[in-house]
């Protein structure tokens, strides 16, 4: 659409100016106001080349007949402004909406190449944090964007299900009486520093609960273990001992080992159940859950390969890859007791993902605080000779900053994803009760709007920046928010249902001439380009900002123009336009992972 118009104009101006077509296209701008045309060519760069004033060049060029699809050009200062031929342009844009609804905005860049995504990836036995929320929503959105750009994607949830903490948890679970005994014994010491008394008692209660299949139980023993271990260092030894048994489970299957394995598997199951609840709310879909432990069998190979490639170095009993030459601390591969590390598993996982799935890209959506880890293990892969590592991307993101006091911290000092989502949904419920008490499916809508508000607020920001989280802002139905875009979609739906007739066929469309209509059409003409930009920069924020722009433009149109008045054919054409806006908003929200209710 707009891309094609730019290409036409690029070819035309290239012959006139001698600049390369791509260069012209790069220079083209979209005028701020539609009365200045639809595309503008700034003459400043060629002015230097031709040693002529820009406004003179613009004037000379304006005398040449513009290419097909353009009605005229006008010189304004150093700019040459081009105007679309409305009939041609509107036919092109609207023609694009006759395809399958899902295909709107799609572009084929990927040619079915396979891309493996790694996002969300929370840690077993720990609740999901806000960091995991960011990874989940950014990852899900990028996954959808990649698909719409013609890639085949495989989304992996790389849960943290391996490491010495599982020895600790298994010990706590199997020796619960002993743990609780110690916990009670040390209650005074523990509550005098790190823990609020009520909170500590609640943890003890949850840990003593009959039902040991709940997430609360799991998290409680996790926290209690760590608190007690500070005063009883022998617990750390027990934890290590149990983890060693877990690591050796394939060669030694004594009774205790079996118990530990079954406890560990149970922890994983409980945690996945818990995450599923959040994913269902958010609309997150992974193709595979493959935790760190999945790659365990490949670790030996990695270590042998590193050895064979002379990359391993012994340092204080541990095996490392020295990265000093690259200004990085060493990458730890194996501790002196033989235990492997996070980086070792990531190296094994990357090699496996490329070979098993024939992946051409690996994308990791993980907070910026892990940037060094990614740089390190990418470097190790490079040193191992894996050229594909240049197609591995760490998609980093910043932190949330909460305004003091508004968020209760139910469990210690972390702000939990679940609590944030629950609060958003509650607030929307209240708004609905007040504004639209008879709404059908009110609970469903509140879920979709509450969650949409959180998701949109995350994705509208450049992911690399920190986000100031402000409850008053994210739910404002008139602000730059998810609910605003969702509400605009609802508005389109209600125009269509009031119209209550079949849409007119595209050949019968009348040319729309009002600037507010033309503006809307131009914005829709840019949709594919915006999707492409989001893909190229791995930034959903472009699509989120675009959806705000489209929603605002639609609302100006909606207030100004009586869509369902007037002569039949014009009415039909305007309703057709409304439907195109609806479909574009729907797809934009979809690409952000946000649901679009039809009433709210
Ligand atoms: N489980 C890790 C965490 O919660 C994130 C894992 C990210 N993915 C990866 N391949 N390292 O911090």
Task: Read off the CATH number of the domain in which 579 is found.
Answer: 1.10.730.10
Bridge partners, residue 81, by sequence: 40, 74
Neighbours of 228 (CB within 10 A): 23
If you take atom 4 of ligand 1, which residue's CA is the nearest one?
122
Residues 207 and 80 in one domain: no
CA distance from start to end of the chain: 32
- pLDDT the model gives residue 395: 98
Residues 277 and 175 in one domain: yes
Distance from the alpha carbon of residue 558 to the mean position of ligand 1, in angstroms: 46
Residues 448 and 575 in one domain: yes
- pLDDT the model gives residue 469: 85
Within-domain flag for 370? no
Q: Identify the domain boundary among 264, 282, 300.
A: 282
Mutate which of 124, 370, 397, 416 for ligand 1? The one with the most ligand atoms within 8 Å of its CB, which is 370
If you take atom 6 of ligand 1, which residue's CA is the nearest one?
121
10-residue mean pLDDT profile of the chain (600 residues): values are 92 92 94 92 90 93 93 94 95 88 90 98 91 95 98 98 95 97 95 88 93 93 95 96 93 95 97 94 96 94 96 95 97 90 96 97 97 98 98 95 54 70 94 92 95 96 91 88 97 96 91 95 96 98 98 98 92 96 98 96
Distance from the alpha carbon of residue 286 to the mean position of ligand 1, in angstroms: 15
DSSP 38-70: SEEEE-HHHHHHHTS-HHHHHHHHHTSPPPTTE
Within-domain flag for 317? no
Residues 55 and 171 in one domain: no
Please report which helix (H) or strand (E) contains residue 15, including its range: helix 2-17
Within-domain flag for 565? yes
- pLDDT the model gives residue 116: 98
Mutate which of 124, 160, 290 for ligand 1? The one with the most ligand atoms within 8 Å of its CB, which is 160
Residues 175 and 74 in one domain: no
- pLDDT the model gives residue 566: 85
- pLDDT the model gives residue 249: 93
If you take atom 12 of ligand 1, which residue's CA is the nearest one?
122
Please report which helix (H) or strand (E) contains residue 288, including its range: strand 288-289
- pLDDT the model gives residue 577: 97
Residues 187 and 75 in one domain: no
- pLDDT the model gives residue 414: 63
Spatial separation of the C-alpha atoms in residues 370 and 102, rounded to whole Å: 35
Distance from the alpha carbon of residue 343 to the mean position of ligand 1, in angstroms: 10
- pLDDT the model gives residue 406: 42
Please report which helix (H) or strand (E) contains residue 585, including its range: helix 568-592
Work out which ligand 1 atom sits closest to the CA atom of 159: 1
Q: What domain range includes position 204?
A: 164-282
If you take atom 10 of ligand 1, which residue's CA is the nearest one?
346
- Specify the CATH number for the domain of residue 71: 3.30.1360.70
Distance from the alpha carbon of residue 549 to the mean position of ligand 1, in angstroms: 34
Mutate which of 116, 117, 118, 121 for ligand 1? The one with the most ligand atoms within 8 Å of its CB, which is 121
User: Can you tell me which residue has the tokens 């999707």?
Assistant: 531
Q: Which residues line ligand 1 (CB under 6 A)?
A: 118, 121-123, 158, 160, 346, 364, 366
- pLDDT the model gives residue 130: 86
Within-domain flag for 239? yes
Residues 456 and 564 in one domain: yes
Spatial separation of the C-alpha atoms in residues 544 and 522, rounded to whole Å: 17
Within-domain flag for 148? no
Chain CA centroid to CA 84, Å: 35
Within-domain flag for 123? no
Q: Identify the domain boundary among 256, 282, 308.
A: 282
- pLDDT the model gives residue 404: 58
- pLDDT the model gives residue 193: 80
Within-domain flag for 149? no
Distance from the alpha carbon of residue 251 to the mean position of ligand 1, in angstroms: 28
If you take atom 3 of ligand 1, which residue's CA is the nearest one?
122
Within-domain flag for 406? no
Beta strand 70-76 with 318-321 is unpaired
Residues 276 and 176 in one domain: yes
Q: Identify the domain boundary among 41, 59, 84.
A: 84
Residues 587 and 447 in one domain: yes
Residues 169 and 71 in one domain: no
Distance from the alpha carbon of residue 82 to the mean position of ligand 1, in angstroms: 50
Structural domain count, the chain = 3
Residues 77 and 176 in one domain: no
Residues 453 and 568 in one domain: yes
Provide the residue count of the chain: 600
Distance from the alpha carbon of residue 132 to the mean position of ligand 1, in angstroms: 9
Distance from the alpha carbon of residue 319 to the mean position of ligand 1, in angstroms: 22
Spatial separation of the C-alpha atoms in residues 244 and 576, rounded to whole Å: 66
Q: What is the pTM of this model?
A: 0.94
């Amino acid at each position: 659409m707009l891309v094609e118009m730019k290409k036409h104009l690029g070819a035309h101006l290239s012959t006139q100016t001698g600049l390369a077509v791509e260069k012209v296209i790069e220079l083209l701008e979209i005028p701020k106001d539609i009365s200045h045309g639809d595309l503008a060519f700034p003459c400043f760069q060629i002015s230097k080349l031709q040693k002529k004033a820009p406004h003179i060049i613009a004037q000379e060029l304006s005398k040449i007949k513009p290419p097909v699809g353009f009605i005229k050009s006008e010189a304004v200062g150093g700019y040459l402004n081009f105007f679309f031929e409305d009939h041609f342009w509107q036919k092109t844009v609207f023609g694009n909406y006759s395809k399958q609804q899902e295909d709107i905005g799609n572009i084929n860049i990927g040619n079915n190449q396979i891309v493996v995504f790694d996002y969300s990836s929370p840690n077993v036995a720990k609740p999901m944090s806000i960091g995991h929320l960011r990874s989940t929503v950014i990852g899900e959105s990028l996954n959808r964007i990649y698909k719409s750009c013609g890639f085949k994607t495989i989304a992996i949830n790389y849960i943290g299900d391996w490491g010495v903490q599982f020895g600790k948890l298994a010990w706590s679970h199997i020796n619960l009486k002993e743990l609780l005994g110690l916990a009670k014994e040390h209650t005074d010491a523990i509550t005098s520093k790190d823990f609020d008394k009520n909170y500590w008692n609640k943890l003890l209660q949850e840990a003593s609960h009959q039902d040991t299949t709940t997430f609360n139980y799991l998290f409680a023993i996790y926290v209690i273990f760590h608190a007690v271990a500070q005063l009883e260092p022998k617990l750390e030894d027990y934890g290590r001992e149990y983890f060693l048994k877990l690591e050796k489970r394939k060669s030694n299957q004594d009774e205790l080992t079996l118990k530990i394995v079954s406890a560990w598997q149970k922890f994983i199951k409980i945690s996945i159940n818990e995450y599923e609840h959040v994913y269902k709310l958010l609309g997150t879909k992974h193709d595979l859950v493959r935790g760190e432990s999945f790659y365990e069998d490949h670790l030996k190979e990695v270590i042998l390969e590193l050895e064979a490639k002379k990359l391993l170095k012994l340092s204080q009993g541990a095996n490392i890859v020295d990265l000093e030459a690259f200004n990085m601390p060493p990458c730890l591969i194996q501790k002196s007791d033989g235990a492997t590390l996070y980086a070792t598993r990531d190296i094994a996982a990357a090699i496996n993902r490329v070979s098993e799935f024939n992946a051409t890209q690996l994308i990791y959506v993980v907070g910026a605080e892990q940037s060094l880890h990614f740089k390190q293990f990418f470097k190790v892969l490079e040193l191992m000779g894996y050229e594909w590592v240049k197609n591995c991307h760490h998609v980093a993101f910043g932190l949330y900053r909460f305004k003091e006091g508004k968020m209760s911290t139910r469990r210690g000092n972390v702000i939990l994803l679940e609590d944030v989502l629950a609060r958003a949904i509650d607030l929307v419920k209240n708004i609905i009760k007040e504004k639209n008490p008879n709404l059908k499916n009110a609970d469903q809508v509140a879920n979709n709007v509450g969650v949409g508000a959180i998701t949109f607020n995350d994705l509208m920001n450049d992911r690399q920046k920190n986000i100031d989280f402000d409850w008053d802002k994210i739910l404002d139905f008139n602000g730059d928010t998810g609910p605003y875009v969702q509400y605009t979609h609802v508005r389109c739906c209600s125009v269509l249902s009031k119209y209550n007739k079949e849409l007119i066929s595209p050949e019968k469309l009348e040319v729309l001439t009002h600037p507010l209509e033309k503006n809307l059409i131009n914005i829709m003409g840019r949709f594919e380009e915006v999707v492409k930009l989001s893909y190229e920069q791995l930034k959903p924020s472009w699509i989120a900002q675009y959806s705000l722009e489209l929603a605002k433009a639609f609302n100006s149109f909606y207030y100004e123009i009586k869509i369902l008045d007037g002569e039949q054919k014009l009415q039909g054409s305007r309703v057709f336009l409304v439907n195109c806006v609806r479909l574009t908003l729907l797809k934009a929200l979809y690409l952000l992972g946000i649901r679009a209710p039809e009433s709210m």
